[in-house]
Amino acid sequence: MTKTVVVLGAGLAGLPVAHYLLSQTSKTVPDLRVILVSPNDEFYWNVASVRFTIPGLIPDSKYLFSIPENFAKYPSSKFEFLAGKAERLDPGNNSVVVALNDGSQRALGYHTVVVATGSDAKDDMPWKNVGTSQQTRAAIAQLQEGIKNAESIVVGGAGATGVEFAGELGSEYAKFGKKSVTIISSESLPLELRLKDGVREAAKKELEKMKIKVITDAKVTHVSEFGPDGQKILELTAKDGSKTTLKTDLYVPTHGATYNTQFAPVSMQDANKRLHQNTFLRAPGYENVFVLGDAGNLEVAQATASEAQLRHLVKQFGTYFESGKVEEYKPKDGIMMGVTVGRDRATGQMGNWRVLSLMIWWFKGRYLGTDYAVNYAAGLRTAIGEWE
């Protein structure tokens, strides 16, 4: 009897899972059929979005890859791609309703479902997919055009994305005096509070070396437009409640995310709309519902966690389809984060240790994965290397 696996999401977690099922698991489980569901028909290497949104730096052939073309090597009897998104998951009846991009609906029955729907950046910013691939391309083009025409740019939020994006603007423009760049941090230092102060201080110093103005202990609480060219007036609210205004040609928010889990029953969601996820990478109460990456609440929403989870799960599939059993996943203790600050500097932390800038630059900052993204899209590897 055919075992249909529905994979919801074709991002950093969902796409390699679908590839692995078809190229590896099917060797020992020949009756597998995989249905991959995603509103975007191009795999988006958003890891490098902080760099390729700078006009003229990286061609789209390095970060957008056709999903149908990369799955054409599998028999149509074994694989189907649906351009759409999950609308209603019914785990009690092993079914999911998909709203297709053409406006129609389709109900899918499944043996197993893998939820890897990830998250979206707020304000339709292209740090993540923005709806369909066409909408994502349009969002990238709009941001690139805004950067090209702006003389002053304000980056809202000083998390990893904000710091990396501001660093790219610094490398290209600010340090040469071509454009004014400012970054707004809600805390006294950039980056997450869980990181060591030394790591965060290094980020601030590197930004300032590139002539980027760092405003701390403030948030952008209101944005209004003025002038014929759509310039912005930003209201900044400090921690003490005082307010100031800042004018800029372009405001680029980098903070906040919404989790793509609205299709799941409310009982499966936590207060942040992430799905409950146990250490077997399952949705509690449902042995055939697996959750990966940002959609699940087991770990911090971070690419390294997603990578570790998918690497663990795919190795369990053979045993799972035979006996229903999977080995427990053990999240790694401690912090692992590398943050690029421009094209030749970086900061980061591994456990309690600050990582050398050169090391992060070598493994991440040189290419931001664009040197191997094509093989990722083809299912030949993940971020840390080829399948074992």
Number of neighbours of residue 334 by Cβ within 10 angstroms: 10
Among 345, 9, 335, 2, smallest CA distance to 203 is for: 345
Q: How far apart are CA 212 and CA 205, in angstroms?
A: 10
With residue 337 as reference, give the H or E element that holds it. Answer: strand 336-340
Which of these, 328, 326, 292, lies nearest to 309 by C-alpha position?
292
State residue 4's pLDDT score. Answer: 99
- For the record, the structure tokens of 274 come out as 């992430």
**pLDDT for 100:** 98
pLDDT at 42 (0 to 100): 99
* Contact (Cβ atoms closer than 8 angstroms) between residue 211 and residue 170: yes
Name the 3-class secondary structure at 148: helix
* Locus of tokens 């055919």: 2
Between strands 336-340 and 346-350, the pairing is: antiparallel
| Residues whose CB is less than 8 angstroms from the CB of residue 25 and which lie 6 or more positions away in sequence, other chains included | 32, 314, 317, 318, 321
Q: Alpha carbon of 379 to those of 13, 43, 203, 310: distances in Å?
A: 11, 11, 34, 13
CB 16 within 8 A of CB 23: no
Q: What is the pLDDT of residue 228?
A: 82
Q: What angle do CA 17, 19, 21 make, to 5 degrees?
A: 70
Which residues partner with 109 through β-bridges?
Answer: 95
As averages over each run of 10 residues, the pLDDT of the chain (388 residues) reads 96 98 96 98 98 98 99 98 98 98 98 98 96 98 98 98 99 98 98 97 98 98 90 97 98 96 98 98 98 97 95 97 97 92 95 94 96 98 91
What are the structural domains, with CATH classification, of the chain?
3-123+257-332 (3.50.50.60)
Question: Could you give the CA distance from residue 280 to residue 331 in angstroms, rounded to a whole number?
Answer: 11
pLDDT at residue 230 in the model: 86
Query: Distance of alpha carbon 275 from its chain centroid, rounded?
Result: 16
**At how many degrees (to 10) do helices 160-172 and 197-209 cross?**
20
Q: Are 346 and 357 in contact (CB under 8 A)?
A: yes
